[in-house]
Amino acid sequence: MPDDKEITIYDIAKHLNISATTVSRGLKDHPAINKNTRKKIFEAARHLGYRSNTFASSLRSKKTYTIGIIVPRLNSYFMSSVLAGMEDAASRENYNLIISQSLESAEKEVANAHTMYNKRVDGLLVSLAYDTENIHHFEAFFRKGIPVIFFDRVYSHTESTSIVIDNYAAAYDVTKHLIDNGCSRIMHLGGNMLRNVYSERLRGYKQALRDHKINFDEKLVFISKLNEEAGAEAARTILKMTAKQPDGVFAANDTAAVYCMMKLKETGIRIPGDIAFAGFNNDPISKIIEPNLTTVNYSGYDVGEAAVISMINHLNGISNVKTTHTIILRSDLIVRESSLKNKSL
Amino acid sequence: MPDDKEITIYDIAKHLNISATTVSRGLKDHPAINKNTRKKIFEAARHLGYRSNTFASSLRSKKTYTIGIIVPRLNSYFMSSVLAGMEDAASRENYNLIISQSLESAEKEVANAHTMYNKRVDGLLVSLAYDTENIHHFEAFFRKGIPVIFFDRVYSHTESTSIVIDNYAAAYDVTKHLIDNGCSRIMHLGGNMLRNVYSERLRGYKQALRDHKINFDEKLVFISKLNEEAGAEAARTILKMTAKQPDGVFAANDTAAVYCMMKLKETGIRIPGDIAFAGFNNDPISKIIEPNLTTVNYSGYDVGEAAVISMINHLNGISNVKTTHTIILRSDLIVRESSLKNKSL
DNA sequence: TTGTAAGCGTTATCAG
DNA sequence: CTGATAACGCTTACAA
């Protein structure tokens, strides 16, 4: 049978002939406690093998030191980097993470939000599902004053902070880069316009065209889920465009770009010679595909870290999610061969 | 100011003129409760906006419904699939996950184990860091009878179950496949022999050589961390072997294989013509590299799911981590162009 | 089938 | 700087 006596602050108190209150205070560096007793308390705690009971503590203090996370999917390179950053930042501050995935479904996201609410997270970090149309399911949090911070796939709202990159500017730069490299018919592989990341990228794309006197052509926008299959499908669409095929493709993520490239390469189309390519995310596959894919790099790790830090600051009253509207992180255009039509490199 | 009154079982009790005990029982489908009162209780609960307080519950019942997870890294495709599987299985059973990463450091792993212990997880799921040498840091769990299950990177131990694939057999098959395709000097890119996954893969490799009357050559084993840099380094090593270069490479993961291939291709070496390649994991990059990489597929999702299910079964007394020693999941050799020297396809 | 009452281990409040 | 005491909201003997 395993040993089973849990040591409590009362055991420590008895051991030292002081009160449990003092032990409680000593353990959490209360200012009004004698340095010496504090030291004794810690020694006794270590010696007796004490571990604090978070449940009793949460029950009483109403703080859980837990942050809820809702993401579309766990298994993408970007999102796992985000989580790595979150975990790092949270563990530094002794916060826990409860993680759930919406699997890109608004319905599941609603269920997850309820679960998080019932788990009494101190705050919630959300990146929205592909087809979420509103954020009613977070109302309960707003009403209770539980902070909600959106990251990457955000929703503009007066009660919450957003953590994003400047998708508009990044897309503008990508498109301009393609134009500078001799593209004049650029196709855009985009995602659901409900999501800021995709609508902003489309907007940046359009503006760059406009600024370079290129007419926007509806037919050159291909909206999809941006997965492997969608990339291949985009390629098939391009191949069917016998009349005036695009001479460049800007995809809103690397997966779609890469799978589109692979399909086109099979048919003998040369990249970037015939069609130049650029993606978004700097996924590991962008460095493997030949030619290597021009893309936009932004650190998932940094996004995750920023989200958690900003949440904890808010919880500590250092900042406020209502006043801080948006935090914009850096992103960089990474130029690789796939977009260099004029092989000047 | 946000609304702040939390509804408790007492509120429901008062509302219905019954006792809190009955409410508590009704809420959790206690057998000895009138169907009708049960229904009333649920209605009142919904109506009043009740949410149960897990802390009070855990405090009293000593169950946390939380499973701790320690993994080397969050941001690899394999591990994020594992987590996805775990999250799915856990949420089906209303369990929480607390996730932490050791960042491949034994030291951090020890710290994480302590944290998990203090968080009072009901059970612990672990995949070991690259250089962990012993598992003393889990002793506290064994002593308290808290189940520990290892997955993927496991440690054989009488007190715990392991969830793995048959790395030996898979490596044997890969090596045999390379031999069957005309390789006779096969290099192995391996990892730390402390880790079962790498030692078993080496063992399978050796046995396959032996069974085909090929002498094992120490010089053809390249041990590394199997990351991008290590792959490139392995390529440099191969290029230096002017005398008798290998005609095949079996890497213990896809990253090392792919980065090695890329470096070799730069120098004009043809794959699989000059050197055939095989990896391990079926990472997304294995489908992008040209030629596509032969590899071993095994589902991270399934591993994660199996680990959580087996943990929960144990916690429910359905199975026992001490008696179930090992659970072996399926893996498959995926043959792609990189290993097909005799282009018979 | 339902109720009473005693905790679970902590922290907040008030008092000294 | 320290202490007594009362919650926090739930579960569980025990009793009815």
Spell out the per-residue pLDDT of chain B, length 345, in tens: 345 578 999 999 999 999 899 999 999 888 888 888 899 999 999 888 888 898 999 999 888 889 999 999 987 889 989 999 999 999 888 888 988 889 999 999 999 998 898 888 999 999 999 999 999 999 989 988 899 999 999 998 887 899 999 999 999 999 999 999 999 999 999 999 999 999 999 999 999 999 999 999 999 999 999 999 999 999 999 999 987 899 999 999 999 999 999 999 999 999 999 999 999 999 999 999 999 999 999 999 999 999 999 999 998 877 776 777 899 999 999 999 999 987 644
Q: Are residues A17 and A135 in the same domain?
A: no
Closest nucleotide relative to residue B36's CA, C1' based: C1
A79 touches B at CB < 8 Å = yes
C-alpha A319/C-alpha B126 separation (Å) is 36
pLDDT over 90 (residue A242): no
CB nearest to A285's CB, from B52, B74, B285 = B285
Q: Are residues B31 and B155 in the same domain?
A: no
Question: What pLDDT, on a 0 to 100 scale, did the predictor assign at position A344?
Answer: 45
Distance in angstroms: CA B22, C1' D13: 15
Q: What percent of chain B has pLDDT over 70?
A: 97
Q: Are residues B222 and B77 in the same domain?
A: yes
Q: Do B118 and A52 touch (CB under 8 A)?
A: yes
Q: Are residues B229 and B133 in the same domain?
A: yes
Q: Are residues B152 and B36 in the same domain?
A: no
How many structural domains does chain B have? 2
What are the pLDDT digits (tens) for B198-211?
Answer: 999 999 999 999 99
Asked if residue B125 is part of any domain, the answer here is yes
Q: Are residues A124 and A74 in the same domain?
A: yes
| Cβ pair A292, A337 in contact under 8 A | yes
C-alpha A291/C-alpha A321 separation (Å) is 43
Q: Is the CB of B60 under 7 A from strand C?
A: yes
- Token representation of residue A175: 């498109």
% helix, strand, coil for chain A, step of 5: 45, 15, 40
Q: Are residues B142 and B35 in the same domain?
A: no
Distance in angstroms: CA A19, C1' C9: 14
Window 38-77 of A: residues touching B by CB (8 A cutoff) are 51-56, 58-59, 64, 73-77
Query: Phi/psi at A325 (nearest 5 deg)?
Result: -85, -50
Asked if residue A57 is part of any domain, the answer here is no
Window 271-300 of B: residues touching A by CB (8 A cutoff) are 284-285, 288-290, 300
Q: Provide, as residue numbers in chain B, all residues whose Cβ is less than 8 Å from the Cβ of A291.
A: none
Domain of residue B154, CATH code: 3.40.50.2300
Domain of residue A46, CATH code: 1.10.260.40
Q: Are residues A35 and A73 in the same domain?
A: no
Of A196, A64, A112, nearest to B88 by C-alpha is A112
- Strand D nucleotides in reach of protein CB atoms, 7 A cut-off: 1-5, 7-13
Question: What pLDDT, on a 0 to 100 scale, did the predictor assign at position B1?
Answer: 37
* Alpha-carbon Rg for chain B in angstroms: 26
Closest nucleotide relative to residue B6's CA, C1' based: D9
Q: Do B75 and A77 touch (CB under 8 A)?
A: yes
Question: What pLDDT, on a 0 to 100 scale, did the predictor assign at position A157?
Answer: 83
A120 touches B at CB < 8 Å = yes
What are the pLDDT digits (tens) for A97-138?
Answer: 988 889 999 999 999 998 898 888 999 999 999 999 999 999
Mean pLDDT over residues A25-52, rounded?
A: 88
Q: Do A54 and B120 touch (CB under 8 A)?
A: yes
What distance in Å separates residue B286's CA from the closest CA in chain A? 9
Question: What pLDDT, on a 0 to 100 scale, did the predictor assign at position A109?
Answer: 96
Distance in angstroms: CA A33, C1' C13: 17
Q: Are residues B164 and B20 in the same domain?
A: no
Asked if residue B1 is part of any domain, the answer here is no
What is the longest distance spanned by two Cα atoms in chain B? 91
Q: Establish, for the pair of chains A and B, how many residue pairs have beta carbons separated by less than 8 Å.
A: 126
Q: Do B80 and A75 touch (CB under 8 A)?
A: yes
Asked if residue A303 is part of any domain, the answer here is yes
Q: Do A115 and B91 touch (CB under 8 A)?
A: yes
Asked if residue B58 is part of any domain, the answer here is no
Run of H or E including A302: helix A300-315
Q: Are residues A16 and A70 in the same domain?
A: no
| Cβ pair B9, B20 in contact under 8 A | yes
Which residue has tokens 């209502």? A322
Q: Do A120 and B54 touch (CB under 8 A)?
A: yes
Residue type present at position A159: E
Asked if residue A1 is part of any domain, the answer here is no
Q: Is the peptide bond before A246 cis (omega within 30 degrees of 0)?
A: no
In this complex, which residue's CA is closest to the C1' atom of nucleotide C8?
B60
Q: Do B84 and A74 touch (CB under 8 A)?
A: yes
In this complex, which residue's CA is closest to the C1' atom of nucleotide C3?
B19
Residue type present at position B214: I
Which residue has tokens 């999702």? B301
Which residue has tokens 């340095």? A35
Asked if residue A175 is part of any domain, the answer here is yes
Q: Is the CB of B25 under 7 A from strand C?
A: yes
Q: What percent of chain A has pLDDT over 90?
A: 70
Q: Provide, as residue numbers in chain B, all residues whose Cβ is less than 8 Å from the Cβ of A75.
A: 77, 80-81, 83-84, 300-301
C-alpha B46/C-alpha B56 separation (Å) is 20
Full residue range of the structural domain in which residue A32 is found: 9-52
Q: How far apart are the first and last CA of chain A?
A: 70
Distance in angstroms: CA A289, C1' D5: 70
Asked if residue A72 is part of any domain, the answer here is yes
Count of Cβ atoms closer than 10 Å to residue B34 Cβ:
11
Q: Are residues B14 and B126 in the same domain?
A: no
What's this model's pTM, rounded to 2 decimal places? 0.89
Three-state helix/strand/coil letters over chain B: CCCCCCCCHHHHHHHHCCCHHHHHHHHCCCCCCCHHHHHHHHHHHHHHCCCCCHHHHHHHHCCCCEEEEEECCCCCHHHHHHHHHHHHHHHHCCCEEEEEECCCCHHHHHHHHHHHHHCCCCEEEECCCCCCCCCHHHHHHHHHCCCEEEECCCCCCCCCEEEEECHHHHHHHHHHHHHHCCCCCEEEEECCCCCHHHHHHHHHHHHHHHHCCCCCCHHHEEECCCCHHHHHHHHHHHHHCCCCCCCEEEECCHHHHHHHHHHHHHCCCCCCCCCEEECCECCHHHHCCCCCCEEEECCHHHHHHHHHHHHHHHHCCCCCCCCCCEEEECCEEECCHHHCCCCCC
Mean pLDDT over residues A189-198, rounded?
A: 96
* List of B residues 137-156 with CB within 7 A of strand C: none
Specify the higher pLDDT residue, A173 or A76.
A173
* Alpha-carbon Rg for chain A in angstroms: 26
Bridge partners, residue B149, by sequence? B125, B161
Chain mean pLDDT for chain A: 92
C-alpha B307/C-alpha B301 separation (Å) is 10
Question: What pLDDT, on a 0 to 100 scale, did the predictor assign at position B33?
Answer: 86
B36 touches A at CB < 8 Å = no
Question: What pLDDT, on a 0 to 100 scale, did the predictor assign at position B4?
Answer: 55
Specify the 3-state DSSP secondary structure of A269: coil
- Token representation of residue A268: 């003998």
Q: Are residues A43 and A169 in the same domain?
A: no
Q: Is the peptide bond before B147 cis (omega within 30 degrees of 0)?
A: no
